[in-house]
Amino acid sequence: MEKTVFRRQKQIKSASEHCSVPLCSVSSSYNSCASFHSFPVKEEIRKKWILNIRRINFQITKHTKVCNVHFKPDDFVEGTRRRRLKKDAVPTVYDWNRERQMQLPRLSVWERRDRPPLPDSDMEENEMEIDRGHDYCSVPEPAALDSSLCENEELKREIEDLRKQLEQAKVNSRFGLQRFAGSDEDIRFYTRFATYKHMMAFWEQIEPSTHRMIRVTSSNVTRETGLYVKTRALPAIDEFFLFMMHLSLGLKQKDLAHRFHVHQTTVSHIITTWANFLYFLLGSVQIWLPKERVRAYLPEECENFRDTQVILDCTELRCQTPSSLLLQSEVFSSYKSHCTFKALIGMAPHGAVTFVSGLYAGSISDRELFKQSGIIDVLTPDMAIMVDKGFLIDNLVPCKIHRPAFVTKGTEMSAGEVRHTQSVARLRVHVERLIRRVKEHKLFDAVIPLSISGSINQLFAVSCLLINYQNGPLVKAWAQ
């Protein structure tokens, strides 16, 4: 039985030309009347062709053509058997603009609707009615003019009232300092400043330096100049207000972003920017007072300790527990039974903050913290410091130390030691009140996340330094 062999016939098809314009399907295979035109050699007109056909990453070859559909009739040379383009012809007719070019102005409803012609008598009556409808030579009565003027004045007053209400509504809807300018209670709640006047007095001191602020933000490069342009999402005063709310209330960044209608990343940049700015600005102010000024403002209850230059105490801020066991052992405080950051704060006898150390790991002792804080360098033999019992620093300082008396095992305090301890305790309680003012900034009231550990030192130092500006004296009698 013979095996059947199938032979496939090869298709023979001549090459066809296609239009390179998007959405155009004209091809010489199906349209013998179409003509196809190569891109011009002249560079200027060639660029216009490429721009008009709207092709991205377009490469032109000798087979790249544009059909005659995309040219106007007056773009072709007349009197030739074969279609030839003029030298300056550019394709301008496309699917996306053909309807707009060919669309004629639409007639009105009156012009589109057919109507029977009116008799001559009716046309004359209509013309007479139109003439009787309005007297162009008539003048309105004075009373009518007065009433219209009054109505215009009332409308103007109403528009002005509505404009004022709209401006007030805009102020109330926007969460910013101006919204709470009339309420000292709100200013105290949001910023810890005593009044709006106190806050604005502090702002007047720092505002001239804000133009030198190094902003932590994303920068954009302009194509024209090639320079970095830093945009500000909020006015400078509202950025400061946002930063103070973060310190005073401990609000999360997402909450602040919703309140001020900005992105959460913008809030993070604003907080970091202002923390660094105020840290260097307030840190450049000399807060360590000469002993003459300290003794000039010495309260009456400190008469027995006239040589006291500073009252010192340590404070601890609870922080998030690190995942590393080594870091846990370094920041764990046996006194607080928690992972903490620890700092040393110094107060003049009249209540002003005169020394703030950096934050250290919670496991550090009071003696070691005192040694590393740098306060020893500013002490002189004619001064005295007041500390708690835990500061065993007798061999570290060149000056006198006022400290509560120790009670050894099996012994009792003498009457003089008891009186001395009570006198020291009455003065040391004020540094505890000062530390409480610092911790009224609710950011330090909760557990501090390790995500802000990079800027927590600046935030804590700024909070301590702001105490000298935000509040009045610790004791009302000291104000006099």
- Tell me the CATH number at 299: 3.30.420.10
Average pLDDT, the chain: 82
pLDDT on residue 143? 59
For the stretch 298-337, pLDDT in tens is 888 888 888 999 999 999 999 999 999 999 999 999 988 9
Tokens of 364: 């550090």
Question: Percent of the chain, pLDDT > 90?
Answer: 40
**Residue of higher predicted confidence among 23 and 142:** 23
Q: Is the same domain home to 344 and 473?
A: yes
Domain encompassing residue 161: 144-173
pTM: 0.62
State the pairing for strand pair 308-318/384-386.
parallel
- For residue range 131-159, list pLDDT tens digits in order: 555 555 555 566 555 667 777 888 888 88
The whole-number average pLDDT for the span 365-384 is: 92
- Provide the pLDDT confidence category of residue 98 given band limits of 50, 70 and 90: low
Taking CB atoms within 8 Å and a gap of at least 24, the contacts of 444-448 are: 444/250, 444/317, 445/250, 446/250, 446/318, 447/318, 447/319, 447/320, 448/317, 448/318, 448/319, 448/320, 448/341
Residue 437 falls inside a structural domain:
yes
Do 262 and 337 lie in one domain? The reply is no
- Residue at a domain's end among 102, 129, 152: 102
pLDDT at position 229 over 60: no
Question: 248 lies in a domain?
Answer: yes
Q: Are residues 198 and 243 in the same domain?
A: yes
167 and 308 belong to one structural domain: no
Last residue of a domain, one of 233, 264, 283: 283
In a domain, 179, yes or no: no
> Looking at 51, 73, 102, which one is the last position of a domain?
102
What tokens were used for 263?
A: 């992105």
Q: Identify whether 113 is part of a domain.
A: no
Residue 114 counted as domain residue: no
For the residues 232-248, what does the mean pLDDT come to? Answer: 91
Residues 334, 471: one domain? yes
- Residue 82: what pLDDT? 80
Is residue 166 located within the same domain as residue 188?
Answer: no
Higher pLDDT, 171 or 291: 291
Residues 190, 159 share a domain: no
Q: Please state the rounded mean pLDDT for residues 358-370.
A: 93
In a domain, 17, yes or no: no
pLDDT over 70 (residue 408): no
pLDDT at 227: 43
| 296/225 same-domain check | no
The reply to whether 392 and 474 lie within a common domain is: yes
pLDDT value for 72: 87
Please check whether residues 273 and 311 belong to one and the same domain.
Answer: no
Of all residues in the chain, what percent carry a pLDDT higher than 70? 80
Domains identified in the chain, total number: 4
Identify the band that residue 7 occupies on the pLDDT scale cut at 50, 70 and 90. Answer: very low
* Distance between CA atoms of residues 433 and 426, nearest Å: 12
Answer yes or no: is 428 within a domain.
Answer: yes
Q: Is residue 30 part of a domain?
A: no
Please indicate, yes or no, whether residues 428 and 470 belong to a single structural domain of this protein.
Answer: yes
Q: Is the pLDDT of residue 5 over 60?
A: no
Are 270 and 194 within one domain? yes
For residue 48, the model assigns a pLDDT of 86
Separation of CA 150 from chain center: 48
Radius of gyration (Cα) for the chain, nearest Å? 43
